[in-house]
Amino acid sequence: MSQNLVDLQIDTTILDPLDAAISQMEACLAGLISLTPEQRRGLIKMGDKSEAFCRAAFNVAEQHAGIMARDFDIEGVRRDQQTLDQLRPRILRIAHLYQRLTDTEMALGSDLMAAALEVYGVLKVAGKGKGLDEARRHLASRFRISTHESDAPGESVGNG
């Protein structure tokens, strides 16, 4: 095999405990919400500079509670800030793990594609007349242009 970005074998005995740990994380974080794309677009975003502004504004609101409207929920703001501060380190750890998972997935797929292309290349050169013509034609179909009406013009079958 010409490419081997990752050589990982997962012991199947860890899959059940891994799934249980993921389920426990989901259960522990049951209060998390899901936003629609429209909701995400419509939200006021808080970046690094905005976060410093928010913290300073809440300090003023706490120190001068009398100037705030009665329905301003400073306790709710404190809870939101505390929850954000608690979640962020975990978000970073999970994001790092997620990136490693997706990088490994990509590398495994790339290794498999490189190996499959190597097999196909050998079939094209050395497989002629050895009873492998049908296998070669089957593999070649991945690169043919689709003539189906449902496919967009010019798209190759199986690309992607």
What is the per-residue pLDDT across 11-59, written as a single tens digit (0 to 9) for each?
Answer: 999 999 999 999 999 999 999 999 999 999 999 999 888 999 999 999 9
- Contact criterion met (CB below 8 Å) for 54 and 84: no
**DSSP annotation of 30:** T
Q: Which residue ranges make up each domain of the chain?
A: 36-143
Beta bridge partners, 145, equal: 156
Provide the token pair at 153.
Answer: 């013009």
Q: What is the pTM of this model?
A: 0.74
Provide the token pair at 13.
Answer: 């005995």
pLDDT in tens, 89-110: 999 999 999 999 999 999 999 9
